[in-house]
Chain A
Amino acid sequence: MSLLQSTQFRPDPSANATRRAWIGAWPEFQNPAAWLVALILVIMPLIANGFFLIEIFATTLILGIIALSLMFLAGYGGMVSLMQLTIAGFAGYMVAVFGMSGNANISLGWPWWLATPMALALATLFGTLGGALAVRTEGIYTIMITLAIGAAFYYFTNQNWTIFNGHTGINTVATPHFWGVDWRSDIAFYYVTLGVAAICYFAVQYVSRAPFGLALQGVRDNSRRMAALGFNPNAHRIAAYAFAAFIAALGGVLQVWNYRQISPGSVSVGACIDVLIIAVVGGITRPIGPFIGALIFVLLRTFALDVLIKFGLDGNRFRLLIGLGFLAIVFWSSDGVIGLWERWRRNASATQSPGGGRHG
């Protein structure tokens, strides 16, 4: 980690000081590969049809946003929180409860521009309170307490009929229509998702280099020393939870707009762990990791069944293929796909021109 940071901040003698600082803060603007990926993402509706656009790429971005919130906590704060999906699900439920849906006896019928901020605020509050509880613990105990919050929420939604409508969940959730655009139509929704994902990505990137993020990383590495320097480690951690909860909540709102329904299956313990898998497979050292992990996850989840049948194998075993895929990635690289990429880049630059090339 510290090695990565130092390579990113390596001074470039050909540029002046301000430019250097700017590049230091936003290294991806220097990287042609990043520009190419951005361009492809922007023109994606020209390349991909409705299914790939929504079911693969928009879903990837949504899951990526939720996993990004975990990456922020785990990567910069050293806190592995399994309740990020629960926060997202909570936001989704709140959109359904405050907004309009097919269950008129539950939904309050607020317009989307009122229901959505309300959902985001409540989910952020929920995440902050959960975080305030979790910061009293460390390591495995943080995982356990956040998992307990996730499991409790799952069983609560499953059994509560007055607000969450039990196992049936809330169907036909209304999605925003304004300026004459149906924002849930495929292309519009893809751009909304892409926009939110980009904002979240750059926000995390920015915060990680802002004084707050640096202090958070200090807390992660040595909280006692930070306390001695006059920082309040727990306040930093709770603030990190609040920030991550807001990001997760954004993902949750997009999720419920995507499927137009939400039910306890969306916030199950299995789904909470899926988010951890996504973050670990992608790599929790950089904000791009969760998005890569999400893409791999979505591709495997969608196509594993088809692939097995194509090879004449028993389609019922497709979960095995998914598991093996993840096992292979984690086995070859303990810091996910990002780690593989870093290592490949390092080897390539070592054999060709030593010291050349930046990371993307």
Chain B
Amino acid sequence: MLKGSLGLIALSSLLLSGTAFAQEKIKVGVTATLEGTYTVLGEDGMRGHQTALNVLGKKIGDKELEFVVASTDATPDSAVRAVRKLIEQDKVQILLSPLSGDEGIAVKNFAKTHPELTFVNAASGAQETTYVDPAPNFFRYNMDGAQWQVGLGKYAYETKGYRKIATVGEDYSFIYTQVFGLVLEFCGAGGQVTNRQWVPLGTKDFASVIAALPDDVDAIYLGLGGADAVNFLNQYQQAGGKAHLMGGSIMIDQTILSSKGSAKNALVGTIAASGQADTWEDPGWQKFVKAYQDSFPESKRFPSPSLLATNYYGSTMALILALRQVNGDLSNNQAKLKDALAKIEIDAPNGKIKLDSNRQAIGTNFVTEVVDDGKGALFSKVVKVIPNVNQTLGYDPAVFAKIGLPSRTVPECKKY
């Protein structure tokens, strides 16, 4: 009995001590998908984040940045739980979160309940996050899924001569946004999207999906990521699939191109579009690739950074530069920092990035084609670079609003 109460007293004193934290540090909470289907993406995102710290340093004037990491599994619940833990237990003042589309929507909504804090999106790319009812303290320095598809539809129609395509995608907001971008452009150019299949995130058995793929199409667009993409490719190859492929931004990415086994070889020649291209010759990009490669031993990284590493790098960079502009001043509910974040223009590795009035990135997009470097490693080669891509994809905002929000069936395949 006495033992028990002593234990309780010890426990409660432990709880009290949890509240103390050092003043001269600026605490930043980071979340990444270190569990579940997108584990590989989360790990490489963290590598990009680390690379940014190696390049830029952690000093803000006389203060130092301290980072606390929490893990999620690409579900909105896990993201909200992780962010709450970071804010309430670790007392972070700034959030660098989250990685995945639906997590972004949930964290943006959560951000409204903490207007005094600052949220910098790490990599999530659903359109709704910043387009519908944006949170004033949520900043996104990467483009959304639709922006990342700009150029692909036209290239497929005009250069590759594809007229009819079908899509297979994971059944959630980010892939809807990607297919949204693709369909708008491809159908706008005159193409047809005959069939859209949606599979739950974390699907392992694609047999029925593969069996249902139509034969009378010129190409199949794959909007999959992480373990789902690798599983699909394995089973597609075993089923003897030979169609032309087109890829979404996390499909044609080092997270898949560096996967083990031969299934990825089905991707050689696949066209895709993304916020980056592995072989871009821009000196800023090459410098970033070198910094990434120097930061980690070869066995513990990809040959070239993935889109997630680039996004985490960009968002970490924007945060550090903005903090330096205001000399780490977080007074008055971080008003100065928020102002600086909204105005800052960064020279990210994947081109210049600035924010629009919804605090959403306007940046550069790349159309790419997968090539084999001769030694068995696959890379995405630049085909076309498109600067200044905004969230309404160049449409008049009023016209864009009429298209509707990305979903399984929106947009319709027609010219808007």
Give residues in A with beta carbon < 8 Å to B.
32-33, 36, 40, 47-52, 54-55, 102, 155, 158-159, 161, 166-169, 171-172, 259-266, 268, 302, 305, 315-316, 318-319
Contacts and interface: CB of A to CB of B under 8 A. Distances in A.
Contact of A168 (B73, B76, B84): B76
Nearest to A318: B71
A169 B102 contact: yes
A168 B102 contact: yes
Given A40-B12, A102-B109, A167-B102, 10 more contacts: A49-B88, A102-B133, A166-B172, A167-B172, A167-B201, A168-B173, A259-B77, A260-B110, A261-B80, A261-B110
A168 B172 contact: yes
Interface of B: 1, 4-5, 8, 12, 15-16, 18-19, 34-35, 43, 69-71, 73, 75-78, 80-81, 84-85, 88-89, 102, 105-106, 109-110, 112-113, 133, 171-173, 198, 200-201, 407-408
Nearest to B68: A306
Contacts of A172: 109, 112
Given A159-B200, A167-B171, A168-B172, A55 B89 contact: yes
A234 B77 CA distance: 37
A261 B84 CA distance: 13
Given A55-B85, A263-B75, A265-B75, A171 B19 contact: no
Given A51-B88, A168-B102, A263 B76 contact: yes
Given A261-B106, A318-B71, A161 B408 contact: yes
A261 B109 contact: yes
19 contacts: A51-B88, A51-B89, A54-B88, A159-B198, A161-B407, A167-B200, A168-B173, A169-B77, A172-B109, A259-B77, A261-B109, A263-B102, A265-B76, A265-B78, A268-B75, A302-B85, A305-B70, A316-B43, A319-B35
Main secondary structure of the interface of A (DSSP, over half): helix
The residue among A47, A54, A315 with the most chain B CB atoms within 10 A of its own CB is A47
Nearest to A54: B88
Q: Which 9 A-B pairs have the closest CB atoms?
A: A265-B75, A51-B88, A167-B172, A51-B89, A265-B77, A171-B109, A263-B76, A47-B12, A172-B109
B76 A49 contact: no
Given A167-B173, A302-B85, A33 B80 contact: no
A138 to B, nearest CB: 30
A263 B77 contact: yes
B177 to A, nearest CB: 12
Contact of B76 (A36, A171, A302, A319): A171
Given A168-B172, A263-B102, A319-B35, A50 B76 contact: no
B109 to A, nearest CB: 4
B244 to A, nearest CB: 28
Nearest to A255: B77
A55 B200 CA distance: 29
A32 B5 CA distance: 11
A301 to B, nearest CB: 9
Contacts of A36: 4-5, 8
B76 A169 contact: yes
Contacts of A52: 15, 18, 89
Contact of A55 (B69, B71, B84, B408): B84
A262 to B, nearest CB: 8
A51 B85 contact: yes
A315 B39 CA distance: 13
Contacts of B73: 265
A171 B105 contact: yes
B69 A33 contact: no
B121 to A, nearest CB: 16
Contact of A32 (B1, B173, B407): B1
Q: Which of A51, A166, A265 has the most CB of B within 10 A?
A: A265
B296 to A, nearest CB: 14
Contacts of A260: 109-110, 113
Contacts of B43: 316
Contacts of B106: 168-169, 171, 261, 263
